[in-house]
Structure 1
Amino acid sequence: MSASGGQLVAGRYELSTLIGQGGMGQVWTAYDQRLDRRVAVKLLRPDRVAGQEADELRRRFVRECRVTAQVDHPGLVTVHDAGTQGEDLYLVMQYVDGADLSDHLAEHDPYPWQWAVSVAAQLCAVLCAVHAVPIVHRDLKPRNVMVKQDGTITVLDLGVASVLDTDTTRLTHTGSPIGSPAYMAPEQAMGGAVGPYTDLYALGVLLHELLSGDVPFAGSTALGVLHRHLYEPPLPVRRLRPEVPEALEALVLRLLAKDPQARPASAQETYEALLPLLPARGIPTGGPLDPTRPFLRPHAPWPDRARTPAPQAAAPTPHTDQGTTDVAGAVDEVKRLLGEGRITQAVDILGAILPTAAAQHGEHSPVVRTLRKQYAATLMDDGQYRRALPELRRLADERAAEAGQADPQALRFRYEAAQCLEQLGEPAAALAEYRALLPYYENQYATTDLTLPLEVRRRIGHLLLALGDRAAAHDTLVRLLHDAERLQGPGHPFPAEIRRTLQWLGQVRG
């Protein structure tokens, strides 16, 4: 795909100036002809990946951009539009007037440590909102952070980064993890499950760079850099800048812990650790684009933001002439919306119709059970894992009580609940659930379809990587590779992916 200035995207956005280009896309300034405003347009090129992978990228792109658009925070770039045009994917975003953090650092070296604290605190506020969705940015770095004219921070590229979910190796020809090696957490480098802890590591790298002038781990090759991430301790920043407060140095070292469980528990906890170090009110530090200027604490995250949100207000549902809610009509409306890809609206209608359906047909009726299954599945498809998790657990418990723990449907609900835990950044809980499920799957599918047990074992291996247990992950994946090659053949994509992960693991282990 090639684009040029003057080209019209979606019959509305006129490309103006190319401002960024990478392996899979371009970023342009553009004009929205309908609203007469400047915007930024990111064009992705699925043709850079082959066959079914390109189709998967398109599907994931549309879904994740819709999820991203639900994140409402002043420190996050606003998504205006997204879609496909022919073979190309486009993402239309707010145009941010300012300097990216990499240039800002270069212009102000050494960077005042108060500025570094202010930047990091604002980034924590953004990450709190993003992780509550939940979305993991996966590529937090100075080039993806803008310092605006008023000193506020805006995070870019969330819509694109979140397209690349935990199975990132499937979207590369080499099997190498996608991301920027200098900012990549050890578990991400190894192809393990990522979570909020992954973004916190990148925040630690970024904070180290602002304070010291350089990233903690550099090298001439990506493999060399990743090896240092995995095995070398970072240099404490006070050895380079003694004026940095001890508490700030300690926080940076915690963020850069090799073991994700040794890092701060959340972006909220990190924000609270930064709070005492923020500049006092009413004392400007001066300079253009001063990132301390916004700090009367206007963008601080709400402490309970990451908790399970309250149910949304009831969405309008079809009614009969008698004024009672028409459950059948609502179901038809949901089917129509799902067919049109309007998943969020379908979720709201399902959530609103469930209490009425329970009152009309009974809480344990087949009608209500079917609606609840659809509700949980649609929440999953909409990326609302925090709301889907209790629904799936309830469905699993009820089904197991009726048909036994080994019932395939009960196991499926538990499997999807484990997926929710993984997406919510709870690797230890997800690992425990997958391990509990595996014996049932291995017994159940011993003579039939082995795809699901193999996938569960792959997820176990990736979660072990995320938890820093590389030896156990290596053993798990070696056994998995042997079984997958025996059952599927060495040329099948599944064992090929496991082999790439093990080769990568062997290189960095060595």
Structure 2
Amino acid sequence: MSGRLIGGRYQLATILGQGGMGQVWTAYDQRLDRRVAVKLLRPDRVTGPIGSEAADELRRRFVRECRVTAQVDHPGLVTVHDAGSDGDDLYLVMQYVEGADLADHLAEHDPYPWQWSVAVAAQLCAVLCAVHAVPIVHRDLKPRNVMVRPDGTVTVLDLGVASVLDTDTTRLTHTGSPIGSPAYMAPEQAMGGAVGPYTDLYALGVLLHELLSGDVPFAGSTALGVLHRHLYEPPLPVRRIRPDIPEPLEALVLRLLAKDPQHRPSGAQEVYEHLAPLLPTRGTGLPTGPLDPTRPFLRPHAPWPDRTTTPPPPAPPAPAAARPDVAAAVDDVKKLLGEGRITQAVDILGSILPVAAEQHGEDSAVVRILRKQYAATLMDDGQYRRALPELRRLADDRAAEAGPSDVQTLQFRYDAAQCLEQLGEPAAALAEYRAVLPYYENHRAMGNDPARSFEIRNRIGHLLLAVGDHVAARVQLQGLLYDTERAYGPHHPLPVELRRRLDRQAEVHGG
């Protein structure tokens, strides 16, 4: 395959690695004459035959997720240059990162200095803070997805790829390979529950445990056996293996590995604050040189060894923005959305809303339509944090006008619950779903399509798993299975999926 041209411009050169669902290559961008890394993914390895609807949906979600993740700006994230499909493959073009992946770095240094572990984890916390603010959940944080560069900085790879492949983190493909990495899976992820920032914090705990002890906390000969241990076994405190490790560091690892997400730290920022006092200072006698993860803290912003840099010329001042024309802007938005240019459409909608409100009034039909489109487009663009207040405002205004059981009111509240779920607030999302469910159940009792009430009950089941209430989740999903079989028959995709999920949970619990 060496020499193959991807996307009409990226010529594959050397394979860097491969797994059950794809390969990573070094390649040359012929248009810009630079080295890049190209990840090739095979939809058929995840969804079945290439021509299936599931494979087509995977392609659409892959490109969308790459577009969302490309918006995250942080020096600890690999830059995404391009994404698309080429023949049977999906491809992701990324910045080529020089250095060693963390798994190889760990293997070459035994034992790994605990100060290095702290420095790696602190840098990962900075990355996760930026990622979770979007919000994006990495879902597959592990040493193979982390690079240590020659200047000691840490770079995270594969952001967003796992979320495309991992709509059900515990599903086994027809090749028999688990999607995701069982050794680093949080209990809620192993059970197929809703994931959030707390899921990445658990993976960070596994990674930190591995750096400190030389091995992951839960290993086994089968994926099911590993997942069962995640659910039921306490991790071995690392000081029993290495007594030189500070007690506060051991305590932090144990908190990160809590089975219940609510018992873990509140976020990556809190983890960083606990790590900060343990970061090395000058004169500690640690080994120095390239690939030293403590270097960014001991010599912040220092040049790379044997490298010089030239600062870029200052950018010219931007011209003052012209006052937008509402009608023309609406036409532009329609055109952009038709072309799939969602991010640009979001920016235009955000800029014309205040102008439209000034011209037509906050309560005018024009402003309400624009606000509704703005909220929907923000959700399509993955900007859930910005979409949530817009949806709450829309829901309140509509409820005051048409009542709490109005279909549009309920849709706004349902969308708000989705935002809360994506923002990693499972308890708040659970409360919102439970609040709107009776209205949808009433619609169902009047003979309307039960699909939405079934979907809400399904989400409630996922969120109960996320907050650690496995018994209530199973009761919820079993009741949903009974009702969906009565409504659709036993061979409909929803009851088939529910049976498979319940069987899978029983297997994991049974170990």
Same fold judged by TM-score > 0.5?
yes
C-alpha distance in structure 1 between counterparts of 2:72 and 2:183, whole Å:
27
Residue aligning to 1:492: 492
Q: Deviations over 1:239-288 (max 9, x none)?
A: 00000000000000000000000000000100010000000146562244
Residue aligning to 1:21: 18
C-alpha distance in structure 2 between counterparts of 1:296 and 1:449, whole Å:
62
Matched, 1:340 2:342: no
Residue aligning to 1:38: 35
Matches within 5 A, 1:470-485: 470-485=470-485
Q: 1:344/1:412 Cα in 2 relative to 1: closer, same or farther (>3 Å)? A: same
C-alpha distance in structure 1 between counterparts of 2:122 and 2:7, whole Å:
37
C-alpha distance in structure 2 between counterparts of 1:175 and 1:363, whole Å:
55
Give the aligned residue type for 2:18.
Q
C-alpha distance in structure 1 between counterparts of 2:128 and 2:285, whole Å:
26
Give the aligned residue type for 2:91.
Y
Matched, 1:153 2:165: no
C-alpha distance in structure 1 between counterparts of 2:427 and 2:176, whole Å:
25
Helix, strand or coil for the counterpart of 2:40? strand
* Deviation (angstroms), 1:159: 3.5
Q: 1:110/1:493 Cα in 2 relative to 1: closer, same or farther (>3 Å)? A: same
Helix, strand or coil for the counterpart of 2:449? coil
Asked if the contact 2:210–2:216 (Cα under 8 Å) also holds between the matched residues in 1, the reply is: yes
Q: 1:129/1:315 Cα in 2 relative to 1: closer, same or farther (>3 Å)? A: farther
Q: Which runs of 5+ in 1 are unaligned?
A: 300-313
Asked if the contact 2:169–2:190 (Cα under 8 Å) also holds between the matched residues in 1, the reply is: no
* Deviation (angstroms), 1:102: 0.7
Give the aligned residue type for 2:109.
H
Residue aligning to 2:426: 427
Stretch deviating more after TM superposition (67-76 or 153-162): 153-162
C-alpha distance in structure 1 between counterparts of 2:122 and 2:286, whole Å:
16
Asked if the contact 2:261–2:467 (Cα under 8 Å) also holds between the matched residues in 1, the reply is: yes
* Deviation (angstroms), 1:349: 0.3
Give the aligned residue type for 1:290.
D
Helix, strand or coil for the counterpart of 1:494? helix
* Deviation (angstroms), 1:362: 1.3
Residue aligning to 1:368: 367
Q: 1:200/1:261 Cα in 2 relative to 1: closer, same or farther (>3 Å)? A: same
Q: 1:156/1:102 Cα in 2 relative to 1: closer, same or farther (>3 Å)? A: same
C-alpha distance in structure 2 between counterparts of 1:175 and 1:507, whole Å:
15
Matches within 5 A, 1:48-197: 48=45, 49-50=47-48, 51-164=52-165, 166-168=167-169, 172-173=173-174, 178-197=179-198
Matched, 1:265 2:262: no
Q: Which runs of 5+ in 2 are unaligned?
A: 302-317
* Deviation (angstroms), 1:296: 5.0
* Deviation (angstroms), 1:88: 2.4
Matches within 5 A, 1:352-501: 352-446=351-445, 447-501=447-501
Q: Deviations over 1:346-383 (max 9, x none)?
A: 00000000111111111111111100000000000000
C-alpha distance in structure 1 between counterparts of 2:109 and 2:326, whole Å:
62
Residue aligning to 2:505: 505
Q: Deviations over 1:126-159 (max 9, x none)?
A: 1011111111000000111111111110111113
Q: Deviations over 1:20-39 (max 9, x none)?
A: 11222111100111221111
Asked if the contact 1:354–1:371 (Cα under 8 Å) also holds between the matched residues in 2, the reply is: yes
Residue aligning to 2:315: none
* Deviation (angstroms), 1:297: 8.8
C-alpha distance in structure 2 between counterparts of 1:154 and 1:479, whole Å:
45
Helix, strand or coil for the counterpart of 1:294? helix
Asked if the contact 1:166–1:194 (Cα under 8 Å) also holds between the matched residues in 2, the reply is: no
Residue aligning to 1:311: none
* Deviation (angstroms), 1:485: 1.0
Asked if the contact 2:170–2:190 (Cα under 8 Å) also holds between the matched residues in 1, the reply is: no
Helix, strand or coil for the counterpart of 2:24? strand
Asked if the contact 2:20–2:177 (Cα under 8 Å) also holds between the matched residues in 1, the reply is: no
Task: Calculate the aligned-residue CA RMSD, in Å.
Answer: 2.0
Asked if the contact 1:315–1:348 (Cα under 8 Å) also holds between the matched residues in 2, the reply is: no
C-alpha distance in structure 2 between counterparts of 1:315 and 1:87, whole Å:
44
* Deviation (angstroms), 1:110: 0.6
C-alpha distance in structure 1 between counterparts of 2:296 and 2:233, whole Å:
36
C-alpha distance in structure 2 between counterparts of 1:171 and 1:363, whole Å:
50
C-alpha distance in structure 2 between counterparts of 1:430 and 1:263, whole Å:
19
Give the aligned residue type for 1:460.
I
Figure out how many residues of one structure are paired with residues of the other and give that number.
488
C-alpha distance in structure 2 between counterparts of 1:34 and 1:54, whole Å:
30
TM-score by length of 2: 0.92
Matched, 1:292 2:310: no
C-alpha distance in structure 1 between counterparts of 2:38 and 2:286, whole Å:
35
* Deviation (angstroms), 1:85: 2.2
Q: 1:176/1:359 Cα in 2 relative to 1: closer, same or farther (>3 Å)? A: farther
Q: Deviations over 1:51-104 (max 9, x none)?
A: 121111111101100001001111111101111223421110011111111111
Asked if the contact 2:41–2:91 (Cα under 8 Å) also holds between the matched residues in 1, the reply is: yes
Helix, strand or coil for the counterpart of 1:18? strand
* Deviation (angstroms), 1:165: 5.5
Q: Deviations over 1:190-226 (max 9, x none)?
A: 0000000000000000000010110000011110000
Stretch deviating more after TM superposition (38-47 or 366-375): 38-47
Give the aligned residue type for 1:39.
V
Stretch deviating more after TM superposition (283-292 or 258-267): 283-292
C-alpha distance in structure 2 between counterparts of 1:167 and 1:403, whole Å:
37
* Deviation (angstroms), 1:164: 3.6
* Deviation (angstroms), 1:388: 0.1
Asked if the contact 1:330–1:353 (Cα under 8 Å) also holds between the matched residues in 2, the reply is: yes
Residue aligning to 1:198: 199
Q: 1:188/1:298 Cα in 2 relative to 1: closer, same or farther (>3 Å)? A: farther
Helix, strand or coil for the counterpart of 2:297? coil
C-alpha distance in structure 2 between counterparts of 1:339 and 1:175, whole Å:
39
Give the aligned residue type for 2:455.
E
Matches within 5 A, 1:306-321: none
C-alpha distance in structure 1 between counterparts of 2:89 and 2:387, whole Å:
32
Matched, 1:5 2:7: no
C-alpha distance in structure 2 between counterparts of 1:174 and 1:449, whole Å:
36
C-alpha distance in structure 1 between counterparts of 2:476 and 2:54, whole Å:
26
Residue aligning to 1:308: none
